[in-house]
Chains A and B, each alone.
Chain A
Amino acid sequence: MIRIENLHKSFGDLEVIKGIDLHVRPGEVVCIIGPSGSGKSTVLRCINRLEQPTSGRIIVDGHDVTDPKTNMNLVRAEATMVFQQFNLFPHMTVLHNVTLGPVKVRGMDSAQAEKLGLELLAKVGLAEKAHNYPEQLSGGQKQRVAIARALALQPKVILFDEPTSALDPELVGEVLEVMKQLAREGMTMVVVTHEMGFAKEVADRVIFIDGGRIQEEGAPETFFANPQNPRLRDFLGKVIAH
């Protein structure tokens, strides 16, 4: 589904990603963990080319994202993103947030899109908020709308960049529940997260990035129980101490 080969990314003189290879299979849930500033978001943002990779190759659903000739708009709908800050469209109702993509990108007629939108809002537990505006929602509700907006595109994979990091602790659970359900339904997901519990429970594979490189990867059972890399051990020690 996603194949990243020898990805490098620099901002000016600062080399942030120093050669990353990653292969995500259909239906797989890959969690990326790592310290702040290690380049997790940058990897994710290279996948849908919100950032332009400096070198390397990224193939998403058969499309070469690193080829300038690729029509990125279609690829972005197939590999859509859920942001830490939700980034809902504040001037549109919740339902309109969800239907915009299907109508403008997928060319769905609006009646059909509304039906789909209401179904997806029901799925994330927010059917009754369809006609509210984002500012009338709690953080957890906003993020669930953002997930419904992503699902409305019927994407092949969803990229999550710390979807619960901006939430009050008591609202994290409701968002993780929705994500767990997606994982059970077989959605391909790449999730940057600090929620180790979620990674342990849901991930097929966990990846530790530090200093712009993958330092360790593996199935969650071995990854958390028996970390090899000293930096990972250190990182897990700090996270769990929190």
Chain B
Amino acid sequence: MAFQFEPSVVLETFPMLLRGLKYTVAITIGGLAVGFVLGAIAGLMKISRNGFFRNLAGIYIETIRGTPMLVQAMFLYYGVPMASGVRIPPLVAGIIVIAVNSGAYIAEIVRGAIQSINPGQMEAGRSIGLTRTQTMRYIIWPQAFRRMIPPLGNQFIISLKDTSLLMVIGVGELLRTGQEIVAVNFRAFEVYLAVGVVYLVMTLGIARALRALERHLRVVPGK
């Protein structure tokens, strides 16, 4: 039987994907929100004067960046319950995986952005009598945060796409939903095309929103 492309199937697929899309969005946003906090803490620890904190952050970052996310997900969902005796619901496991994984990359983004700020800024803050923490908060962080936006946007997009890997632990996200539809109608071409389009629309949307945010945060408008 010759392959016959059915555009109508693509269109019919979109509403059926909505259920999975909700999970994808929820895991991405939840995972990244926690991941940003983790990343900010680990990034600050990485540049702290305390060697213990530096090492701890280093181990976390290297371990996560040096292993595939798929392995991290399977280890957490299938492996950890064997040891702990407590099963984790797939959605929760998904959010944890995205958070811990993105946190390691975000830590490097945070560290890099802070270290890119001229050391004269810290000296100037200290010279007017601010504490190290105050200088970090009022002087360094606001400047560093602006520089984090492009790489954070990049990470946002990567994490969004990475949620598709969570289908292996049974999270009913977008790709998994697509797979379930294919199991019924056998229209793999049309269904996965539709799935791809949904990812693409979201990643393009994020990229645009971030460019707008960057423009908005520019210190002197139009410069």
Contacts and interface: CB of A to CB of B under 8 A. Distances in A.
A136 B121 contact: no
Interface centre among B128, B143, B146 (most CB of A within 10 A): B128
Interface stretch (A21-29, A60-68, A73-81): A73-81
Contacts of B146: 91
Contact of B128 (A85, A90, A105, A133): A105
A89 B139 contact: yes
A87 B121 contact: yes
Interface residues of A, number: 25
B130 A73 contact: yes
Contact of B129 (A88, A105, A133): A105
B219 A104 contact: no
A42 interface: no
B48 interface: no
A50 B121 CA distance: 12
B149 to A, nearest CB: 13
B78 interface: no
Interface in A50-109: 50, 73-74, 76-77, 80-81, 83, 85, 87-91, 100-101, 104-105
Interface in A147-206: 149-150, 153
Given A133-B220, A135-B219, A135-B223, A87 B128 contact: no
B222 to A, nearest CB: 11
Given A73-B130, A91-B142, A149-B128, A83 B123 contact: yes
Contacts of B220: 133, 135-136
B129 A101 contact: yes
Contacts of A143: none
Interface in B184-223: 219-220, 223
B134 interface: yes
